[in-house]
Amino acid sequence: MAAFELDKIYQDSDGRDLLDATLVEHERLLWELEYLAKESEDDTNSDITDRLNLIKAQILLFERLMIGNRIDSLVVLINHYAEIISRPPQELVEVTP
């Protein structure tokens, strides 16, 4: 029985590490979106540059949506493992647009 609990503790720890890495990736995407928004305010941008920035922003927003879904799934998984090993559950990390 102890080996089962130890395995669940490792899985819980791996889930937390993956959640941390996912949150870092989420922050990077936010930074890129903010950079694109500031760059588009520059009047020297050409029409083609604005279009490319729009396409890149759409891709970044889609990636951010997928990461938000992954974060939600990881929180559910971590809470599942926490329940199994009787740890207090994590609060749901709210991803704001």
40 in a structural domain: yes
Model confidence band, residue 14 (pLDDT cutoffs 50, 70, 90): confident
Its domain, for residue 32, covers 7-84
Give me the chain's average pLDDT, please.
76
Higher pLDDT, 25 or 96: 25
| Nearest CA among 15, 61, 57, 17 for reference residue 40 | 57
Query: How confident is the model at residue 2, as a pLDDT?
Result: 46
89 in a structural domain: no
The percentage of residues in the chain with a pLDDT greater than 70, rounded to a whole number, is 67
Q: The tokens of 13 are what?
A: 């720890």
**What is the number of domains present in the chain?**
1
Q: How far apart are CA 72 and CA 67, in angstroms?
A: 9
pLDDT digits (tens, 9 = 90+) for 26-64: 888 888 888 887 777 666 667 767 777 788 888 888 888
